[in-house]
Amino acid sequence: MDVRATDTSCLNWAGDILALGLFEDGVELTGDLATLDGKLAGTLKELMAEAEFKGKEGSSALARVGGGSAIRKVLLVGLGKPDSLKLESLRRAAALSMRQAKKEKGKTLAIQFPVWNSQPEATVQAIAEGAELAAYQDTRFKSESEDKNSQLEQIEILGVGDQSAAIQRARQICSGVILARELVAAPPNVVTSLTMAETAEAIAQEHGLEIEILEQEDCEKLGMGAFLGVARASDIPPKFIHITYKPNGTPRRKVAIVGKGLTFDSGGLNIKGAGSGIEMMKTDMGGAAATLGAAKAIAQIKPDVEVHFISAATENMISGRALRPGDVLTASNGKTIEVNNTDAEGRLTLADALVFTEKLGVDAIVDLATLTGACVVALGDDIAGLWSSDDTLAAELLNAAESAGEKLWQMPMEEKYFDGLKSMIADMKNTGPRPGGSITAALFLKQFVKETPWAHLDVAGPVWADKENGYNSAGATGYGVRTLVNWVVA
């Protein structure tokens, strides 16, 4: 599918479907739209009246244009109140336009939306992102594509001039999001720790990045007892992945992104019971998927920032070698952990990953993890939680998420809750009491970062969507990639 931006006006465009963005309570036709309505024999006014179209965000109305018009169908798309227009509004409106065009079996689609904040480049990038992400359908594991009747070949963004750089940036970012979606959506017999390492190597080879894959023996030498404790029940060997992107010249800062990489989580000997959603535990590597997706995007964008992408990849299984409740593990910083729940394994893998990462001497560390159901209870399926030891870093991430349209909410780092993690026989337990479970999980991770500004994103809710939502189809969303990219390049 070709996406392009041009100076062409809606008055001069010819094709299958023309999508026009209109504000709420501002649907009086003026200027080019009034002229276009005249050319279309009043079709726009009739459509507004018949569909009772008021321009509310997320609303739309479609009509066929008769009389041999150069435009086959016109689509009105509501953008909400003018003072509430955001880049996310444009992404969602573009996604709606794309989905409607595919449904109508159009080959060509034109989009004419207002320019956000007098910034045509940002406007075009948002529209292109929304269209590209909505167009993606994962049919890898179906014998026949359900999307075989789709004919959309071209999208033209009207009235904004040549914005090829913005469209290229959108494609680069979307390629990372789609990679993350495909990793999360794939079944656990397809995506394993080996697959994650192979994917990392492919990204590094394609884009000229440095890569280091630590094998089990390497992790043993580094004393990664927490990570290896989780990995020991699996027949598939663990892989510790470290990709490095370095810009040309001196980087203005060095940062690290750490993703939880549990390719399947059975719960271990604290096995997940019926009704626990165990069949969806293939998504437990959503943090690592976002990390690799961000690596793919950032390698193409080439910012002047050095970035380290890290994941301790394994699966949490059951065997005679399995981690037992009551076992004590020693992490690579020497801290001892009493395992009181083998189903709280992600934080154990992250513990050693964070210790490894801080030794790289970076300026900031961000980890992403599908860590707790408690965060989903608190914030729902659409919002990730943010905990941070540094207010500046937290603000950077909140701004990056706002621009990306990925919902993120800062949660309290209530230090006294760490009392719930105290152990009689070790430095700490791996879980605390049920209340505040996502907070104690963050406090656990904090024990493995000494001085570096650090933030933890609990993405357990938004990595998966049960139904279509905006530019996300039902399934894996690729959550986090766009926020990470925005944070790095800011």
Tens digit of each residue's pLDDT, the chain (490 residues): 999 999 999 999 999 999 999 999 766 788 999 999 999 999 999 999 999 999 999 999 999 997 789 999 999 999 999 999 999 999 999 999 999 999 999 999 999 999 999 999 999 999 999 999 999 999 999 988 766 656 799 999 999 999 999 999 999 999 999 999 999 999 999 999 999 999 999 999 999 999 999 999 999 999 999 999 999 999 999 999 999 999 999 999 999 999 999 999 999 999 998 778 899 999 999 999 999 999 999 999 999 999 999 999 999 999 999 999 999 999 999 999 999 999 999 999 999 999 999 999 999 999 999 999 999 999 999 999 999 999 999 999 999 999 999 999 999 999 999 999 999 999 999 999 999 999 999 999 999 999 999 999 999 999 999 999 999 999 999 999 999 999 999 9
Which residues are identified as catalytic? 272, 347
Radius of gyration of the chain (CA): 24
- Helix (H) or strand (E) run with residue 199 in it: helix 193-207
Q: In what order do the strands lie in the sheet with 336-338?
A: 328-330, 336-338, 428-429
Contact call for residues 472 and 384 (beta carbons, < 8 A): no
What tokens appear for 213 in the block?
A: 């894959």
Contact call for residues 106 and 73 (beta carbons, < 8 A): yes
Rounded distance, CA 69 to CA 15, Å?
9
Rounded distance, CA 308 to CA 211, Å?
10
Nearest to 107 by CA among 60, 157, 150, 62: 150
pLDDT for 149 equals: 58
Q: What is the pTM of this model?
A: 0.97
With 0-12 / 13-18 / 19 or more C-beta atoms within 10 angstroms meaning exposed / middle / buried, residue 297 is buried
pLDDT for 189 equals: 97
Could you tell me what percentage of the chain is helix, strand and coil, using 3-state DSSP and rounding each to the nearest 5? 40, 20, 40
Contact call for residues 259 and 199 (beta carbons, < 8 A): no
Rounded distance, CA 308 to CA 212, Å?
11
pLDDT for 13 equals: 97
- Give me the amino acid identity at 245: Y
The CA-atom distances, in angstroms, between 155 and each of 76, 102, 116, 282, 346 are: 16, 11, 19, 34, 42
Contact call for residues 43 and 63 (beta carbons, < 8 A): yes
With 0-12 / 13-18 / 19 or more C-beta atoms within 10 angstroms meaning exposed / middle / buried, residue 347 is buried
